[in-house]
Amino acid sequence: MYAEYKGKFYRPLHPRPTVVVVSKCPDGKINAMPASWNTPVSEEPPTIAVAVDRSAYTFQCLEHSGEATINVVPADMADLAYALGSVSGRDVDKVSAFGLKLLPSDVVEAPGLDGSIAVYEARVTAKLDIGEVRLYVFEVLKVKVAQGLVDEWGPVLDKTNLLLHGAGRVFYRVDPRKIWAKKPAGRP
């Protein structure tokens, strides 16, 4: 039996992986914004899409620079991710205020966020305005991963854990057990 859901339409789609988008802003400042509305889009070319509210400072920064790092953060960064999303980079120098340790990038000007599981250096290749957000499609130019924390299947969950955002201050971890689906009959 199903009943009509009266909550925010997107809540049944959560929890969502949380990334931190680090960008260089018009004033030269580095800004960091958590984003759980993100997804891989294509393998060729490798792309990731991230939704950014057009009133956010990150929107101004991405419009200025056209590039960013997309940082996959571990579950132990929940407090930091929540804090980064609780203030605007217009008002607060987030690097100083939160003691962010930054990593130099090889291809883009925006630095990576130290402590991340993976850092994607990326350039904006498409934009689409939908409601209050701009969906940025980033071409992935380079991917760096923390040694020993990622294998061919993704993050090694017995050594790290992904940060998933529920709503507000609610975050989740991923269950570290792998579930292997059965191959359909007659399929290799």
pTM, rounded to two decimals: 0.94
Sequence-ordered list of residues with C-beta below 8 angstroms from that of 68, at least 6 positions apart, any chain:
21, 22, 23, 61, 62, 108, 110, 122, 124, 138
Across the range 158-187, mean pLDDT stands at 89
Q: How many CB atoms lie within 10 A of CB 169?
A: 10
pLDDT over threshold 90, residue 87: yes
Tell me the pairing of strands 170-172 and 164-167.
antiparallel
**Rounded Cα–Cα distance for residues 145 and 153 (Å):** 13
pLDDT at 10: 86
Residue 133's nearest CA partner among 24, 56, 30 is: 56
Side-chain half-sphere of 4: how many Cα atoms within 13 Å? Answer: 1
160 or 183: which carries more pLDDT confidence?
160
Q: Which residues pair with 70 in a beta bridge?
A: 21, 120
Domains by residue range for the chain, with CATH: 13-172 (2.30.110.10)
Q: How confident is the model at residue 177 (pLDDT cuts 50, 70, 90)?
A: confident
Distance CA 56, CA 86 (A): 12
Arithmetic mean of pLDDT, 139-154: 96
Query: For the chain, how big is the Rg over CA atoms in Å?
Result: 17
**If pLDDT is split at 50, 70 and 90, which confidence band does 11 have?**
confident
Q: Token digits for 67?
A: 């590039």
Q: Using CA atoms in the order 105, 171, 46, 31, what is the torsion angle rounded to 10 degrees? A: -30
- Do 118 and 103 touch, CB atoms closer than 8 A? no
pLDDT at 187 over 80: no
Q: Is the pLDDT of residue 97 over 90?
A: yes
- Residue spans of alpha helices (H) in the chain: 57-65, 78-86, 94-97
Structure tokens at 12: 């049944």
Interval 2-16 mean pLDDT: 89
